[in-house]
Amino acid sequence: MELTLTGRKAIVTGAGSGIGREIALRLSAAGAAVAVCDVVKETADKVAAEVAGAGGQARAYAVDVSDFVAVQQLCEQVAADLGGIDILVNNAGITRDNLLLRMTEAEFDRVIAVNLKGTFNFTKACSRGMIKSRWGRIISIASIMGQMGNPGQANYAAAKAGIIGLTKSVAKELASRGVTVNAVAPGYIATAMTEKLDAATRETYIAGIPLKRAGTPEDVANVCLFLASELASYVTGQVLRVDGGLLM
Average pLDDT over residues 116-124: 98
Q: What does the pLDDT look like over 69-91, one tens digit per residue? A: 999 999 999 999 999 999 999 99
Average pLDDT over residues 162-183: 98
Q: What does the pLDDT look like over 22-43, one tens digit per residue? A: 999 999 999 999 999 999 999 9
Q: pLDDT band for position 50 (50/70/90)?
A: very high
Least confident interval from 2-6, 109-113, 211-215 = 2-6
Q: Is 156 a catalytic residue?
A: yes
Write down all domains in the chain, each with its CATH number in brackets.
9-188+220-238 (3.40.50.720)
Q: pLDDT band for position 1 (50/70/90)?
A: low
Q: pLDDT band for position 148 (50/70/90)?
A: very high
Q: pLDDT band for position 192 (50/70/90)?
A: confident
- Can you give the pTM of this predicted structure? 0.96
CA distances from 167 to 84, 128, 240 (A): 22, 16, 12
| pLDDT on residue 106 | 98
- Counting residues of the chain whose pLDDT is more than 70, the rounded percentage is 100
Out of 156, 188, 205, 234, the active site residue is 156
Q: Answer whether residue 195 shows pLDDT above 80.
A: no
